[in-house]
Amino acid sequence: MLELQNPWWFGEPDRDWELFEKLTYRIRPKWLDELSLSPFSLNFVVGPRRVGKTLGIKLLIKELLKKVETPYAVFYFSCDVLEDHRELLEVLNDYLRLKRRKGVNEAFIFLDEVSLVDDWWRALKFLIDRGELRNDVVTVTGSISLTVGRHFETFGGRMGNGKTIEVMPLSFHDYYSLFYNEFFPSKGAEVFENYLETGGYLAYLNGTLKVEELVGFLKADLKALDRSSDLARDIVGAVLDKAPSPTSFNAIAKAVGVSPHTARDYVELFEAFHILLQVLYLGGDGKVYPRKERKLILRDPLIVRAIELWTRRKIDRAVLYEWLVQEHLYRKFGEVFYYRNSYEIDAIAGNLRVEVKSGKKRGRYPRNVEVLEGSKVPEFLYNLT
């Protein structure tokens, strides 16, 4: 399996490189530049399935092969063929023996979809603690969040120069840049209509992904974590029913007929899958109130379409506008909140306070609140870089 997954050891091209060249829409992911390539590093790359994590890694491998002295210094393994940490440890030990035979001092090791392996962290932690990887750069990817089960925390102090990177579907700015170099309002409106249909999934735009496949991936991830897909569907359906209004775990639990603890568990699981985001209440005193009702948003238009299909719901366009503004502000500032009193502010992040209106402005707001009409949303999102 090692030889099959590393064709460059024999001077042969990787299949993903050839597929990339045939794509109509393609991009070198920006997140590749955020990874640490200085030993020792343990990088974690997390995000939903089919957002381009594997392809991005393969493009990085192609670049690294031009810099290393021997192709054996670059090792890739897709872990979805493994059952548990013992098999993962065996694979890694096989490569480390090969590395020593080939006289490789520093290696780049890529473990793809490692979170599908039971107790994956045990194998990696064992080798790190023994000093077996001290001269290497290890990059681990996962679609089921590596934080599920809190095993991620066992690597505290063991990441060296490593980074944790969240990979999400393309932002509207990056999506628009596939078509035009400058922003024009008329073109922005046109591309935005496409974005609402395809989301930021290049795979969907290239015709290699279907909406129903996202539902299948979600069900598979739930099964891998021994969660009920029927219960998950009902809970996320209740989330859609209450959008875009703030809600509570108690309200969701009551709607579904489960305990608040169960409702919270599944909401946090959807958040760990990187498809849902919790927007907490920020008081007028500048404090965050986690016990107050929160807004629950879906993070990409194609994810919305998949959840609509799964739950047999339909989200209003106005809700999608609000969610996109909240998500893009979150990506820029790393946090986003909302406020509600005599008036509502949909999104607060950094120095921005934004209320999204799909139609014309109504009501009066403080001067520091930007009331964003639906027609202005594309340009606002484009400028959030």
Q: What is the pLDDT of residues 181-234, one digit of tens each?
A: 999 999 999 999 999 999 999 999 999 999 999 999 999 989 988 999 999 999
**Same structural domain, 155 and 204:** no
**Same structural domain, 105 and 182:** no
Residue 195: other Cβ atoms inside 10 A: 24
Q: How confident is the model at residue 157 (pLDDT cuts 50, 70, 90)?
A: confident
**Same structural domain, 153 and 180:** no
In which domain, by residue range, is 96 found?
2-166
**Same structural domain, 161 and 205:** no
pLDDT at residue number 385: 84
Q: How confident is the model at residue 148 (pLDDT cuts 50, 70, 90)?
A: low
pTM of this prediction? 0.92
- CA-nearest of 56, 325, 306 to 204 is 306
**Same structural domain, 162 and 263:** no
Lookup: tokens for 154: 């066992």
Strand partners, 344: 340
- CA-nearest of 50, 46, 109 to 77 is 109
Q: Are 346 and 282 in contact (CB under 8 A)?
A: no
Hey, which bits of 306-351 come out as E strands? 337-340, 344-349
Position 143, amino acid: S
Q: Are 306 and 202 in contact (CB under 8 A)?
A: no
pLDDT at residue number 359: 56
State how many domains the chain has: 2
**Same structural domain, 184 and 155:** no
Query: Pick from 106, 135, 166: which residue ends a domain?
Result: 166
**Same structural domain, 157 and 177:** no
Structure-token match 């054996």, residue found: 72
**Same structural domain, 275 and 366:** yes
**Same structural domain, 157 and 227:** no
- pLDDT tens per residue, range 77-97: 999 899 899 999 999 999 999
Query: Pick from 166, 182, 204: which residue ends a domain?
Result: 166
